[in-house]
Structure 1
C-alpha cells in the first residue's frame, strides 16, 4: 500500500490551518503537504509538524497573488526579480520546515510564446540550482486547463521533455493522477513510462476531485500499480472531501 500524505489545503478544513497538522496525525496520516505555508512563520509551521509527529512531503514556492488568480511566476519574464525572491523565500522555509521537495508553479502563459518558454527554462535552471544547494528536490506539475485555464505547463510529455533536458539536475515530475486523467488519460501505462522521473504522486477522484473511489478511475488498481512499480515516495491526497474529512476516510481503511 502506498504511503499517503494529507493535503492540508483541501483536507481537515473543519479546523484552522495550524490545527490541521494534529488532526491529520489523529486520523492516521504520517505526512502532510499543502499549497503554501507563508502566512505563518516557518518556525511555527515546523513546530506544528514536529509536535504532531508528521513528515513534510512538499509545498509550493510562492506563486504571486493567489487571491487575484495568479498561479506562478516562472513563465512570466516581466516578473523575474519577484521569481528569484520567491525561490529564496521557499528555500528558507523548506530548510526550516524540513521538506524534501518544492513545487515550482509555472504561471498563466501561452506555452507557444517564445518569451514565456525562455522565461520558464531560466526559472527552472535558477530554481534547480538554488534548491540543489540545500539538498532539496524540485518538482514540476502539469495542470489541466479545465481547473486552471491558461496554465503554461499543461502537458505531461512536455514536462518529461523538460526534465530530460535538465538531465542530472534535481528536477523531477509531480505526477497528479487527477490532472493526468483529464489531460491525457492512460494513467497506468504512463505511470510505468514515467516512474523514473516521478518524485511525488497526488490522487483525487475524477471528475469531481473528491475522495478516491468516488469517480471513474479504479483507484485500488492504481495504488496496486504504484506499489508494483516500486514507488517509495508519498501519495498526496489532494482532494476535496465530500463532507467531513474524517468521515470520508473509509477509502483509506480499505487500501
Structure 2
C-alpha cells in the first residue's frame, strides 16, 4: 500500500467515525477502531482512537455540560481510572494477532449486547455504575471502545437520549484522557496528523448537516452494523495471523 493510499484510507476512517459521533452522540470508536487497528496495528490504532474520540467529545460537551449528572459520573469515572492501566498493560503484552482477535471479540460482543438492549440487574444503581465504569475503562484502554458498557448502564438506568449524550461525552473525555496517559500518543508523521485533523473537521460538518435529516433509529442501526462488521473482520484477521 502506497503512502498516499494509506493516508487517504486513514482520513476516510476518521472522517466516517467523526461524522457518526456528531450524528448520534457516540460511535466514533465503534466504527473507527476495527479499521484503524487493521490499518495502523493494535497499539497505534487504539491510541489514535482515544485521542480522536476524546477531542470530539470535548467539543461536543461544550454545549451540553449543564446536563451532566455528577452523582452518576463520579463512580463511573473513578472505576474507569482503576481499570485503564490493566487494559493498557494487556495491549502491550499480547502478540499483535491475539490483541487483534481480543479487540474484535470485545467490539463484537459489546455491539451485540447493545443491539439487544440487554437488561442486566448488575448494571443498576451505584453498583451498576462501578461495574459499567470499570468495564468501560478496561475496554477503552485495551481496545479503544469504552462506550458500550456505558450505553448498557444508561439503558438499565432508564436514561433518555437527551440525558445520555452529554453524560456519555463527559465520560468519554475523562476515560480517553486516562487512556492516552496510560498508552501514550500515536506515533504519526506530521502529514498524517494533518490528514486526521482535517478529516475530523469535515466529519463534524457532515455529521451536523445530516443530523436533522436521518432518523435517529436508522442512524443507530447503521452505526451498530458498521461496528459489528468491523469487529468480526478484526477477529478474522487476528485468527488468520495466529
Note whether the superposition's TM-score is higher than 0.5. Answer: no
Structure of greater Rg: 1
Higher normalized helix content (fraction of residues): 2
Higher relative contact order (CA 8 A, sep 6+): 2
